Amino acid sequence: MSYALPFDIDIARVHIVFGLATLILIGLHLVGKGKYFKSILSSKSKISVPKKNLILIFVIWFALLIASIKNAAPAKQIINQSYESRRAHEIVRPNPLIQSLAEKKSHNSTRIKNSNQQKALAVHLNFNEELKSKLALAIWAESKAGTLIETLYISPELAYSEKVTWEGEQTERQNLLPVWRHRYTLLTGIDPNGELDLASGATSNHSFSLEKYLKTDGDEYALFVEIKEPGFDSVIYSTYVDHTEKKKYRLLEITGSSKVIEDTTKGSINYDIETIENRPLDLGLIESLN
């Protein structure tokens, strides 16, 4: 499972539990064979031990252990064929300092400051009570220059592959969250088809982390939320965080949609909010460190 599927907490749980069970079974086996091993070690033993084979097995085992630790052949070649390696450009995992709780009518994501439990940023979303279907959701931060700094949250169903099953049908992430996916292309330089986009890619001084922004004297940044409701274009909400403004809470405001109009490309924000047919968010609140 760990080799063929993307890593998540469920697979880690299965790995740990069955690894422990295997160790227990090995221990029980060794205990059950106690008399056998005792007779082998006895000086009066008539059992022939293939010492060369045992030495060879130990050498191979030790070589594989070192190869795995050093990421050398053949371990490197084996790992390169795993799901995680083959789909590395598609997998999106928020910073481990982010904690999220997604419920039917609300969502909360909290960014903890590095090396402590101090809350530096929190996003609180309350969805429209009329919503009946599951939403696709992405939350991310951008610098003043418009560069994606960090993806705080993306719906788990969309986190591990470009091609996903949503509402019972096969589709692509760029059809659900086109604005976020366009920003992600600009950051990684990899388009939705897995091809290298030579016009995109992170700048050399990009930190890929909000850490330097989460300070009372940190740079300004923008928070974006993109929400896709079945049957409608995705809707984008945003707010600007400037620490020189001495306020702890900020409201997310409706900014536009992903609706493509003449002379625009897919992934651009359509700022004509009058044409937006759905308003999936009742309230979006940003709590930031001052």
Taking only the tens place, the pLDDT of each residue in 1-52 is 888 888 877 888 998 999 999 999 999 998 998 887 777 767 666 666 677 8
Note whether 126 and 180 are within 8 A (CB).
no
In the predicted structure, residue 207 carries a pLDDT above the cut 50: no
Taking only the tens place, the pLDDT of each residue in 232-289 is 999 999 999 987 787 889 999 999 999 998 777 889 999 999 989 999 999 999 998 7
Q: What is the pLDDT of residue 290?
A: 63
What is the percentage of the chain residues whose pLDDT exceeds 90?
Answer: 50
Q: What is the pLDDT of residue 263?
A: 72
Q: Structure pTM? A: 0.80
| Top-confidence residue, 200 or 214 | 214
Q: How far, in Å, CA of 184 to CA of 138, rounded?
A: 11
Residue 192's pLDDT band, with cuts at 50, 70 and 90, is: confident
Taking only the tens place, the pLDDT of each residue in 58-92 is 999 999 999 999 999 999 999 999 988 888 888 88
Q: Is the dihedral of CA 173, 174, 178, 184 positive or negative?
A: positive
Sheet containing 281-288: order of strands:
98-102, 106-112, 119-127, 281-288, 249-251
Taking only the tens place, the pLDDT of each residue in 112-166 is 887 677 888 999 999 998 888 889 999 999 998 888 999 999 999 999 999 999 9
